[in-house]
Amino acid sequence: MTTTTTTRVATLAELAALEGQSLGTSSWIEVPQQRIDTFADATDDRQWIHVDPERAKAESPFGGPIAHGYLTLSLIIPMWDEVLQVDSVTMAVNYGLNKVRFTNPVPAGGRVRLQATLKKAEELPKNGLQVTVDALIELEGAERPAVVVEAVYRFFE
Q: How confident is the model at residue 118 (pLDDT cuts 50, 70, 90)?
A: very high
Quote the pTM value.
0.92
CATH value of 7-156 in 3.10.129.10, 3.40.50.2300, 3.50.30.60, 3.40.605.10? 3.10.129.10
- Bridge partners, residue 156, by sequence: 91, 128
Interval 11-46: pLDDT, tens: 999 999 999 999 999 999 999 999 999 999 999 999
Q: What's the confidence (pLDDT) of residue 2? A: 52
Instruction: Name the residue ranges covered by the structural domains of the chain.
Output: 7-156
Q: What's the confidence (pLDDT) of residue 3? A: 73
